[in-house]
Structure 1
């Protein structure tokens, strides 16, 4: 059971919202913000060192700060704007790549180092974009880088020698291609792991069902019934209330098996369960206790009400016809119903219900005895 989420402070509600649905996206934004701040600090150092023109550097710093603020607002109000996670990641990646390409154009001798940041952006996109989207983004970035390098080599060949720019372009294109290929492989691996997790979850649910449900009647099995009884006993010890227990045993079931076969006997069990189930509430326990014997536990129910429930079950079951069984041979059962005494273990109440059921059988069957 997960712990309840703690209410946010007023300041946290202002920046992150009242609920926790955006926590992961905002955490990514904070990490991205730290990345931007570190990059902009390096750019400031380059301006102070004289390797980057101050005016162009300050414009890029302002653009970076505006981008960080804008993306915070997009993430913060993404639900109102109808933006999905991959859209936010794509917009942010395009903006970051634009800033990196601009940094390449203005940082002069150390421009090659800025291209390494492009690979970081592509790795970030691995966890947000589909393979085709990542390929399209990488291709667009390589084209933009190539155009930028070509323009710089044409405008300032002394500082941007064409041969050097060509080598830089080849290296960044190879790096982007490699990272994109790895991103695609990572996405396929994540998709495969997601599918396997879904299959394991289904298998676990199936195992859980098999562990708690009787396969033939689709009622709770005896093992699950014991667990429910234990939980109910703890509940009524803390908040005592009327609890009734009934044991129901199909009459002449061995005769049906011997005369018409076990397949017909299974059909009788299923028909009984289907007919009786509508009388059971969601909070009640209706379980196959063993063979042709069934347990019914009715919390917050007095003895007279429990007796009426079982009697209605008897009427429903008696009107059922089963293929392979002559219509004259109705499905009937004998039942014993008891109300738990104050402080009595439920196991003792079940024993008393069992004794009442045998009284019903020994006095003619097809009846309900309330002890």
Structure 2
């Protein structure tokens, strides 16, 4: 019989997990860079449209340059820092806050310098706030909204000019309509992107939940047989002994060891041995009581925690399991193969440790082996 716990192999998933993490980081940076590039293109588009108002004499052509050029430089700087990974060392790795604050500042400066285009800057603020809702925390978003609105109102009313749409000439009316249509189109575009990102986040959340569930399962279950692993069984055994100490509930344990299992590995190979362990564990688990805990203790040795079971009740339960294992057909592995197990049983006496309790069960297992195997003994 074997009392040694299985030696855990080194986790083979670590290099894969590291590679997946690097790929995810690259994808994340690429998304941020695309977002900054789109914002930069938006600055260019707004700047061109604002400069076109110079054709109608509404403002000087420098209005578009003063808005577009700093915005493009800001976006280009953000892209460069994200590409090199420098942004990862900041509290705002996507630079979404930097872009939002920069856009707000350029908009307010534009209103101060070119109040004739206040309506255009107002439309830019709609796009700014819509973009900010994607990344900024709600509290910061509300603060920025309040500050920007107050400053915009102060600049607009403080200069004594109403917020109007340039419409003195047909050209101004067409340009104003064009600016409105382009701004509306970008709002729709951003909404579509937001919907797409939300769907991706939901899908990723579902995938993450599945991975966490799998990690949880692997942490508590034996990978080969699917039953509880030794660590989890020790946790449950400690809980049951504590329950006995509180209310006197009976707790028995049984150590099961497959008879002549080494011969199975030596003659049929380790793959056949693994198949024997899996089918054995499945048969025992099917015939265990609903209140019992069953897991792999180490190698070909398994542990059963029999709750609310006296020694006699535990013996009866283990004998049912032994009879069930004896009926398994192993002919697909070998016509002569017959799998049995020996068991040692011990009932908690209320004043012993987990180690002492399992040692008594191990002595019972040794006695069962000495008596010819394929039997149960209680000590």
TM-score (norm 2): 0.54
1:315 maps to 323
The structural deviation recorded for 1:237 is 3.3
What secondary structure sits across from 2:280 in the alignment?
Answer: helix
Q: Distance in 1 between matches of 2:189 and 2:270?
A: 61
Indicate conservation of the 8 Å contact 1:260/1:324, yes or no: no
Kindly state the Cα deviation for residue 244 of structure 1 after the two structures are TM-superposed. Answer: 0.9
Select the residue among 334, 344, 357 that pairs with 2:365. 357
Aligned partner of 1:251 in structure 2 is: 259
User: Residue 280 of structure 1 corresponds to which residue in structure 2?
Assistant: 288
* Cα drift, residue 168 of structure 1: 4.1
Are 1:264 and 1:324, in contact at CA under 8 Å, matched by a contact in 2? no
Aligned residue pair count: 233
From 287, 300, 306, the counterpart of 2:314: 306
Match of 1:348 among 336, 347, 356: 356
SS at match of 1:334: strand
Contact 2:241–2:251 under 8 Å retained in 1: no
**Which of 176, 184, 187 is residue 176 of structure 1 equivalent to?**
184
Gapped runs of 5+ residues in structure 2?
A: 1-117, 135-165
Shift of 1:326: 4.1
CA displacement at 1:335 relative to structure 2: 0.4
Instruction: Summarize deviations over 1:111-156 as a string: whole Å, max 9, x none.
Output: 969x859948x949x88xxxxxxxxxxxxxxxxxxxxxxxxxxxxx
The one-character-per-residue Cα deviations of 1:148-169 (angstroms, maximum 9, x if unpaired) are: xxxxxxxxxxx98674654543
- 1:185 Cα deviation from its structure 2 partner: 2.2
Which whole-Å CA distance do the structure 1 matches of 2:223 and 2:332 have between them? 21
The 5 A counterparts of 1:105-116 are none
Aligned 1:149-164 pairs, distance under 5 A: 163=170
Contact 1:219–1:273 (Cα < 8 Å) also in 2:
yes
- 1:247-290, Cα deviation, whole Å (9 max, x unpaired): 01111111222122222211211221121111223442111111
User: 3-state DSSP class of the match of 2:183?
Assistant: helix
SS at match of 2:302: strand
Give the match for residue 292 of structure 1: 300
In structure 2, distance between residues paired with 1:178 and 1:237: 68
8 Å contact 2:288–2:321 — kept in the other structure? no
Is the contact made by 1:119 and 1:176 (CA closer than 8 Å) also made in structure 2? no
- Kept in 2, the 8 Å contact 1:251–1:366? The answer is yes
Q: What's the counterpart of residue 206 of structure 1? A: 214
Aligned-pair CA distance for 1:328: 4.4
* TM-score, normalization by structure 1: 0.55
Pairs within 5 Å for 1:119-158: 119=126, 123=130
> Which residue is equivalent to 1:368?
376
CA distance in 2, matches of 1:214, 1:302: 28
Greater RCO (CA < 8 Å, at least 6 residues apart):
2
**Residues 324 and 264 (structure 1 numbering): CA distance in 2 closer, same or farther, change over 3 Å?**
farther
Q: Give the direction of change, closer, same or farther, for the CA distance of 1:282–1:160 in structure 2 (3 Å limit).
A: farther
Whole-angstrom distance in 1 between the partners of 2:374 and 2:224: 23
Q: CA deviation at 1:332?
A: 0.8
Q: What is the rounded CA distance, in whole Å, between the counterparts of 2:232 and 2:255 in structure 1?
A: 16
> 1:239 and 2:231 equivalent?
no
Aligned to 1:337: 345
- For residue 301 of structure 1, give the secondary structure of its aligned residue in structure 2: coil
Report the counterpart of residue 267 of structure 1 in structure 2: 275
Determine the structure 2 residue equivalent to 1:186.
Answer: 194
1:33-182 superposed matches below 5 A: 119=126, 123=130, 163=170, 166-182=174-190
Instruction: Return the alpha-carbon distance in structure 2 between the equivalents of residues 213 and 169 of structure 1.
Output: 65
SS in 2 for 1:365: coil
User: Would you say the 8 A contact 2:167–2:176 is kept in 1?
Assistant: no
